[in-house]
Structure 1
Amino acid sequence: MKKLIWNGLLALTLVAGYGCDSNPKASTETSASDNASGSGETSTASTDTAGTAAVDTTMNETPTSTPANDFMLTAASGGMLEVTLGKMAQEKGSNADVKAFGQKMIEDHGKANAELKTLAASKNVTLPVKLLAEHQKHVDEMTKMSGADFDKHYISMMVTDHQKDVAEFEKASKMEDPDVKAFATKTLPVLKSHLELAEKTNGKVAAK
């Protein structure tokens, strides 16, 4: 009888022990699964947050330039180039027509430069006080020339330069900025007359 009771108690102990061993294991597996799931959600949330921050930063960037501002900066340097080369034509040129053309550049572009400076100031745009690199290279190249060589190079360059100027001012005359548009529209006929005169003078110089 005692042996039966002992065996019964032993059996109950084994069953209880088996039950205790299995529950922690299941609990551990569930906890690991939950933690893995939680980590995945946290990682996704972090990625989403980073992505949103990146978008917000891009959206909040302030443009450093606008078509109107870029036009004024380029036009200012171009205008200074015309005046600088016009003065060089007076000193280095030998052809009377070339000298006369250079003088006209000094007068007309000097006036346009002053108007552009006033326009830029009204819009808090600081214009360059030195030539842009693309314009300075012309001055550097022509400094070494004089006489007939200067005449031919200068007036030929003036034809090409004013063709470019006319195209740029025509584009600017269609811009949304009303002030820049008005300036470009007003100056455009003057540039076209310069181009026509440059072509005629170039024909005379090339024929000699």
Structure 2
Amino acid sequence: MSQIKACLFDLDGVLVDTAKYHFIAWRRLAEELGFTFTEADNERLKGVSRMASLDILLEIGGLTPAEAEKLEMAAKKNAWYVEYISAMDHTEILPGALKLLQELRQNGIKIALGSASKNAMMILDNTGLTPFFDVIIDGTKTVNAKPDPEVFLMGARELGVTPAEAVVFEDAEAGVEAAMRAGMRSIGIGSPAQLGQANIVVPSLADFHLAQLRDLETDASRI
């Protein structure tokens, strides 16, 4: 197995607690449109682009608006979301994230962001995480949403590593699938029931230890 030279991180639900703000904004839009959007519904939106998320929400509400209306809805939801995340600070970094990023940096492992979020830079700047990243690939640079592997392949290319030398940290099924399609190993953050395709699944980054990366280098069972 190849030596691990780089780690690529999803943002929402892995490094920072922004997922709740997406949910609040989508729920607010659904209420305005006259239907209920639940936390269970929100699970379907994890790792999915903004317009694809809107399509899922509209499907739940049984609505088929014109394209121009959809663009207005997406813009409105995003404006609410940006309003919420503008007040974020370092206290919303998830447990274990800062420690792991520091350890990776100290061990010479390259670090990239691989997120569908178009607001990633604002979030990283507000939380003070920006300096940890060698490369930032977000929704402003990619065309295809996960499970397409574009975001991770682009990150590896800009880091100067092969897919086999990279490990992805993800909290969404679509993200784990994207990592697999990219030819990368993955660490699932969350439930084994949802993220069972990942090489390792832990409840949070606080439960992940650097030694587990080295274990992956010698585990030839899955990539």
Higher relative contact order (CA 8 A, sep 6+): 2
TM-score by length of 1: 0.28
TM-score by length of 2: 0.27
The structure that is strand-richer by fraction is: 2
The structure that is helix-richer by fraction is: 1
